Structure 1
Amino acid sequence: MIASNYREQYLKTKVETASPGDLTLLLYEELYRKLNMAKMNFENQQFEEMLERIHGARAILYELVGTLNFDYEISSQLRDLYVYYLSLLNEFAIKRNCEQLEEVIEFSKEFSITWKTALNMTKSGQGLKNDK
């Protein structure tokens, strides 16, 4: 239990000191983690735990929708993506079709990788170069 307290304190500090970009990455990574745990719970027929993880994943997707800045055109596209994956999670919770869960897991994995790459490029200055 003590290790859990250290992990919680570490995450709390990490969130409190993170930039907006880093916070978004944390959300994508936590989404991926929760979805994988839900899949494991599903495979082990631990349906109550699975639904808790799905609920947590949906909360993250709602948070991602809530943080969108609609001054940028891409925000509408991201909102549509998030809403689509929310609908897949809702369908999975009802129908228990693992293909739907797999699709959301793949999305969260790819977005985590993409966002991390973009952050690293921005931090290193590569994303700011304008080659002519």
Structure 2
Amino acid sequence: MSYQQYQTYKNNSVNTASPGELTLMLYNGCLKFIKQAKRDIEAKNYEQKNTNIQKAQKIIQELMITMDQNAPIAQEIMPLYDFINRQLMDANLKNDVAFLDEAEGLVTEFRDTWKEVIKLSRQKQYGQGANF
């Protein structure tokens, strides 16, 4: 598959994804940038670390902005997103992987929970026998 074909596939995936799938993509993207930032710190590539942490922060900020503030769970999730964002800032300022580990753990929990929500939603929508 050429790079152009890959980009077309990637764009189509985003354009045809449900809101739930887009949220899952955001979590996965955030985790990708956190993991890369950890490698950048270990390699002392601080400019690239900064770029990757900022990308992860933008994803968390997007999740915060787009959250339905009237949803009952929003009051519980918002402080966690804020905590993740602060951990990312501290990691960036102090070049400390421990802050990234903390953020990564929470984002992984959100991602895994969100995956389960999508799975249950699909089972409900398509019947109990559906396996995705």
- Name 2:21's counterpart in structure 1: 22
State the shift of 1:3 in Å.
4.2
Secondary structure at 1:14's aligned position in 2?
helix
- Name 1:107's counterpart in structure 2: 106
Per-residue CA distance 1:18-51 (angstroms, 9 max, x = gap)? 1111111010011111111111111111111111
Q: Which runs of 5+ in 2 are unaligned?
A: none
Q: Which amino acid aligns with 1:27?
A: L
Considering only aligned residues, what root-mean-square deviation do their CA atoms show, in Å?
2.0
Secondary structure at 1:22's aligned position in 2?
helix
User: Aligned ranges for residues 6-21 of structure 1 at < 5 Å?
Assistant: 6-21=5-20
Amino-acid identity (%): 28
The whole-number CA distance in structure 2 between the counterparts of 1:19 and 1:67 is: 15
The whole-number CA distance in structure 1 between the counterparts of 2:121 and 2:101 is: 30
Task: Give runs of ≥4 in structure 1 deviating > 4 Å.
Answer: none
TM-score, length-scaled by structure 2: 0.88
- Name 2:56's counterpart in structure 1: 57
- Name 1:116's counterpart in structure 2: 115
The whole-number CA distance in structure 1 between the counterparts of 2:58 and 2:4 is: 23
Q: Which runs of 5+ in 1 are unaligned?
A: none
Per-residue CA distance 1:52-100 (angstroms, 9 max, x = gap)? 0000000000100011011212112211111111111111111122211
Per the alignment, do residues 87 and 14 of structure 1 end up closer, same or farther by CA in structure 2, a change over 3 Å counting?
Answer: same
Q: Which amino acid aligns with 2:108?
A: K
- Name 2:78's counterpart in structure 1: 79
Preserved contact between residue 41 and residue 96 of structure 2 (Cα < 8 Å): no
- Name 1:5's counterpart in structure 2: 4
The whole-number CA distance in structure 1 between the counterparts of 2:53 and 2:16 is: 27
